[in-house]
Amino acid sequence: MQEVVKIEGFSNLGYGIARNDGMVIFVENTCPDDVVKIERTKNCRNYAYAKVLEIIKPSAHRTEPFCPMQKVCGSCQIQFIDYEYQLELKRQIVQDAMRKIGGINIEIPKPVPSPKIKSYRHKVQYPITQKPSGRLIAGYYKPRSHECVNIKYCPIQPEICDKIIEFIREKAPEFNITGYDEKTHGGQLRHVVIRYSEYSKENLVTLVINSKKISENIKKFAEAIYNNFEQTTGICINLNTQKSNIILGKVTECVCGKDYIEEKILNKIFKIGADTFFQVNPLSAENIFKYVKDEVAKYKNPTVLDAYAGIAAFGITVSDVSLKVTSVEENNVSIEKAKEVLKTNNINNVELFAQDTEKYLKSIRKKFDITILDPPRKGCTKEVLDEILAHTKSKIIYVSCNPATLARDLKYLREKGCKVESIQPFDMFCHTYHIENVSFISI
């Protein structure tokens, strides 16, 4: 069934929202104020999904995507919308989540824009597949599919990443390396992961292979990559034989050079490994770290809990305005990297614990002046929030990449007597519907 609708709003998953005959319709690749001819692709009880057949009258906020692959690649969902309006739509996403999920009527300010909207993404994760002809395919999956799009040029990542991927695509067959087939669970090379440093302009390459050990042809291929790219500090091999969509397995070995790159944030040098978490947009991340540090600096010699710490990036950046920082992270690899960072930066007032946040808090009695929370997308459990409240004297700084789970957790904290002082969005993921937020909560 074809119909003409006007796009009236924008969903938290990047769909345009239209209404027709009392039905809410989510329309992909549309912008508010578009008038479009659509065809429904899925009908549910109270809503439907649709694709665009024709743009009858484009929104004034539409623009030509700067990437020729935007329509087929699932990465930059809203690149066809001008950047200023992207920021406004993301502000609305946060506002809607806070009001509808959190019951919070704070006016959300405009997101702090990313300092760069091209070449900003410094972590690249390409699945590798293979055509029947033997040609390797490396790129991203089409939206809502497992069909890999062969991407030779991506303007939101550093140019060197394109060159490394192209080298891998062309040269792997010369080393008898095959691409992964998720249907048969055959083939050697599953993913290529590249970490790039804004500070040093160097990169770390990780080859994810479908094997329990590293073969000679993989080692020789790693050496070829390392020798062909001066900016590459090291090549790591990750072993992953799982029949799942998890990218990295549990075992990683560095076979050439160093197993990390260095990134500089607020005059602190960080070491980022193949499987340690660090923000993909370091310039935008620096804005967030400064925002958090400025808030911590308002307190006189505070004690700080850095929960879900990763490589203790928040704890390290606020260490010079804190009396003592306790960073808690359950990933041992991240904690080991954090130890190296503390030594490199001569920091002596950060204590590290390789432990689950909830278990750690239940094992102690002391309280912290400030707690910095940076959980994964799923947010925090009520049990963790209860422990945070029991161990925090004055303020919680909650950093979140998911407005919905942030709104849910803020609602719970308000029910426990906390006050949400502010919520500031930061655009970490340009041209996508994702948005980072920092909330200040007083206890």
Backbone angle region of 71, left / alpha / beta, with phi > 0 → left and psi within -120 to 50 → alpha? alpha
What pLDDT score was predicted for residue 148? 87
For helices 83-100 and 403-415, angle between their N-to-C axes, nearest 10 degrees: 40
CATH number at residue 232: 2.40.50.1070
| pTM of the predicted model as reported, rounded to 2 decimal places | 0.93
Are residue 438 and residue 370 in the same domain, yes or no?
yes
Q: Are residues 241 and 205 in the same domain?
A: yes
Q: What is the CATH number of the domain that holds 394?
A: 3.40.50.150
pLDDT of amino acid 245: 86
| Pair 367, 329 in one domain | yes
**What residues are paired with 236 via a beta bridge?**
206, 254
Residue 219, classed as helix, strand or coil, is helix
Cβ contact 292:372 at 8 Å: yes
Asked if residue 290 and residue 256 are part of one domain, the reply reads no
Domain hosting 427: range is: 98-115+281-442
Q: Are residues 327 and 402 in the same domain?
A: yes
Task: Find all residues with CB under 8 Å of 386, minimum gap 6, and list them.
Answer: 416
Q: What is the band of 275 on the pLDDT scale with cuts at 50, 70, 90? A: confident
Indicate if 186 and 236 belong to the same structural domain.
Answer: yes
Both 309 and 435 in one domain: the answer is yes
Q: What is the pLDDT of residues 53-84, one digit of tens each?
A: 999 999 999 999 999 999 888 789 999 999 99
Computed over every residue of the chain, the mean pLDDT equals 95
| Secondary structure of residue 375 in the 3-state scheme | coil
pLDDT digits (tens, 9 = 90+) for 140-173: 888 777 788 899 999 999 999 999 999 999 999 9
User: Quick one: pLDDT band at residue 398, thresholds 50, 70, 90?
Assistant: very high
3-state SS, one letter per residue, for 104-159: CCCCCCCCECCCCCCCCCCEEEEEEEECCCCCEEEEEECCCCCCEEECCCCCCCCH
Check residue 134 and give its pLDDT: 83
**Residue 337 · residue 259 · CB < 8 Å:** no
Residues 32 and 181 in one domain: no
Of 238, 264, 290, the position where a domain reaches its end is 264
Give the pLDDT of residue 141: 85
- Note the pLDDT of residue 133: 85
Among 36-50, 138-152, 305-319, 395-409, the minimum mean pLDDT is found in 138-152
The Cα angle at residue 437 between residues 14 and 62, in degrees rounded to 5: 30
State the pLDDT at residue 154. 95
Do residues 331 and 363 share a domain?
A: yes
Q: Is residue 81 part of a domain?
A: no
Statement to judge: residues 108 and 167 lie in one domain:
no
For 164, the token pair is 């490394």
Please indicate, yes or no, whether residues 320 and 422 belong to a single structural domain of this protein: yes
The pLDDT of residue 333: 85
- CA dihedral of 228, 254, 137, 186, whole degrees rounded to 10: 140
DSSP state, 45?
Answer: S
The number of domains in the chain is: 3
Across the range 193-198, mean pLDDT stands at: 97
| pLDDT band, residue 8 (cuts 50/70/90) | very high
pLDDT at residue 92 above 80? Answer: yes
pLDDT for 111 equals 98
For the chain, what percent of residues have pLDDT higher than 90? 89
Assign residue 53 the CATH number of its domain: 2.40.50.140
* pLDDT tier, 34 (very low <50, low <70, confident <90, very high otherwise): very high
Lowest mean pLDDT among 254-268, 272-286, 287-301: 272-286
313 in any annotated domain: yes
Last residue of a domain, one of 233, 264, 295: 264
Cβ within 8 Å of residue 157, ≥6 positions away: 119, 121, 122, 124, 196
Query: 229-263: per-residue pLDDT in tens?
Result: 999 999 999 999 999 889 999 999 999 999 999 99
**Per the domain annotation, does 74 fall within a domain?**
no
340 within some domain: yes
Q: Is 297 found in the same domain as 258?
A: no
Largest CA distance in the chain: 67
Phi, psi of 255 (to 5 degrees): -105, -15
Position 435 pLDDT exceeds 80: yes
pLDDT of 94 higher than 80: yes
How does pLDDT run across 99-130, given as a tens digit for each residue? 999 999 999 999 999 999 999 999 999 999 99
pLDDT confidence of residue 152:
92
Domain-located, residue 89: no
Which band of pLDDT confidence, cut at 50, 70 and 90, is reported for residue 2?
very high
User: Whose CA is closest to 409, among 86, 91, 97?
Assistant: 97
Task: Please list the active-site residues.
Answer: 401
pLDDT confidence band for 9 (50 / 70 / 90): very high
- Which residue, chain included where needed, has tokens 């440093």? 197
User: In this predicted model, what pLDDT tens digit does every residue of 332-362 receive, in sequence order?
Assistant: 888 998 999 999 999 999 999 999 999 999 9
Would strands 232-239 and 251-257 be described as parallel, antiparallel, or unpaired? antiparallel
Q: Does the residue 68 lie in any domain?
A: no
Asked if residue 346 is part of any domain, the answer here is yes
pLDDT at 144: 73
Q: Does any domain span residue 88? A: no
| Nearest alpha carbon to residue 348 among 327, 317, 325 | 325
